[in-house]
Amino acid sequence: MSYMFDGVRSKQPVWRVLIAAGALIWSLHGASRADDWPQWRGPQRDGVWRETGIVSRFERERLEPVWRVEIASGYSGPTVADGRVYVTDRVVKPTQMERIHCFDWKTGILIWTHDYECPYVDVSYEAGPRAAVTVHDGRAYSLGTMGHFVCLDAGTGTVLWQRDLFSEYNIRMPIWGIAGAPLIVGRQVVVQIGGSDGSCVVAFDRKDGDEKWKALDDRASYSSPILIEQATRQVVVCWTGDSVSGLAADQGEVLWRFPFPPQQMVIGISTPVVDRGRLFVTSFYDGSLMLRLDGRRTRVEEIWSACGTDEKHTEALHSIISTPMLRGDYLYGVDSYGELRCLDARTGKRIWEDHTATPRARWSNIHFVEHDEDVWMFNERGELIISQLSPGGFREQSRALLIEPTEAQLRQRGGVCWAHPAFAYRHVFARNDKELICVSLEKDR
């Protein structure tokens, strides 16, 4: 069944209350059997899908949506919480506006839309918002390309507070705009914005939007912050345009800072990954950096780093959009032209390389999601792949087309699908520049 919407300012349909009631009933009876995907890279921001009862192979070469709805363009992936799906997009007529949408997860029916005028100034790649909506404790937090930060009631779309961070913090706007997804840390919500006067990273009270702390004079990158525990302390790890830094979650004190300045331009997009006391980041031009997290003190040291001579002659991993996977002694990721690689995590030495998971092209992308022993890959051609990754190689188990590439994000090679999908309620939710779809991945009982 398909539902379409088309009003830029459709706010609260008459059936919103009925849908909200249905979502509540579903949450009471079904939440114990399924998981939300309430933020960037899933419930724990680690790219792991923990639901059971999922298919191991696809029956067809093209997956059939349960529903599809029309949306406009944007780089932001959907998020799913409490029976609702959230996504942002951008329209340019009659005025330039960013929009935040909320849909019923079962039917695709629009529950609410919040929009605001947002001309893009000095921003390249104008398809739309970058950051995924973060949903927590009945609130939805959306950070737009130009720094519009909005907290809404997740069920009704009512604005609870909002801030114009571009003007308030004199943001030194990155060429691709603000991109890092908001991170919930206790009573705070943390964002990377690249503000002036020591406000690269800022924490706000998540209830009223008041500033709690700010830190770092660095430029902003496009990477989303993560939360780790180190030496019994909660630490916000942020890969900025100039460093990888650890900030005290409560007060923003800089606990450690490892300089990692770019050779050509700020281009860090992928999220830092952490495993067994190691922290890894990778950049298109600047290659790989593996740090050791001291377990007794809040400090780091370099284990290894590697960088090739240029984007076509790379060492270790020169990723751009894709966040790698760090699994024990092995690291898996996508290099600068779509090369799927396995590295020895201890040294950075390449173990193997594969060219079949995504076509060779500059910035060719795969989003990885771990599910039990399998690795689900969503490549930029809109294909969903169920695979096994090991030091022995890449083993494809099943592949199907999930959604068609579109050209607003990138007009080369027939378009791309660069937005990260969401995996929730045994379904996958994916978007391109024209539509948001929901596909069942539930195993037949």
- The closest of 286, 284, 185, 175 to 237, measured between CA atoms, is 185
DSSP classification of residue 73: B
- If 0-12 CB within 10 Å is exposed, 13-18 middle and 19+ buried, where does residue 379 land? buried
Mean pLDDT for back-to-back runs of 10 residues, the chain (445 residues): 37 42 42 78 98 96 98 98 98 97 98 98 97 98 98 98 98 98 98 98 98 98 98 98 98 98 95 98 98 98 97 97 97 98 98 98 97 98 98 98 97 96 98 98 87
Total domains in the chain come to 1
Phi, psi at 148, each rounded to 5°: -75, 115
| Secondary structure (3-state) at 18 | helix
Instruction: Assess if residue 10 is contained within a domain.
Output: no
Q: What are 100-140's pLDDT values in tens digits? A: 999 999 999 999 999 999 999 999 999 999 999 999 999 99
Instruction: Assess if residue 27 is contained within a domain.
Output: yes
Identify the helix (H) or strand (E) that includes residue 341: strand 340-344
Instruction: Assess if residue 445 is contained within a domain.
Output: no
At residue 34, the pLDDT reads 74
At residue 17, the pLDDT reads 40
Say what percent of the chain tops pLDDT 70. Answer: 92
Q: What are 234-246's pLDDT values in tens digits? A: 999 999 999 999 9
> Cα(278)–Cα(40) distance, rounded to whole angstroms?
21
At residue 25, the pLDDT reads 41
Instruction: Assess if residue 268 is contained within a domain.
Output: yes
At residue 445, the pLDDT reads 60
At residue 348, the pLDDT reads 98
- The closest of 422, 329, 373 to 134, measured between CA atoms, is 422
Identify the helix (H) or strand (E) that includes residue 160: strand 159-164
- If 0-12 CB within 10 Å is exposed, 13-18 middle and 19+ buried, where does residue 153 land? middle
Q: Domain containing 242: what range?
A: 16-440
Instruction: Assess if residue 6 is contained within a domain.
Output: no
Q: What are 221-234's pLDDT values in tens digits? A: 999 999 999 999 99
Instruction: Assess if residue 315 is contained within a domain.
Output: yes
At residue 12, the pLDDT reads 43
> Cα(35)–Cα(174) distance, rounded to whole angstroms?
34
Instruction: Assess if residue 292 is contained within a domain.
Output: yes
- Mean residue pLDDT of the chain comes to 93
Instruction: Give the domain CATH number at 421.
Output: 2.130.10.10
At residue 444, the pLDDT reads 87
At residue 383, the pLDDT reads 98
Cβ contacts of 155 within 8 Å, gap of 6 or more: 20, 23, 82, 84, 111, 138
| Secondary structure (3-state) at 25 | helix
Instruction: Assess if residue 404 is contained within a domain.
Output: yes
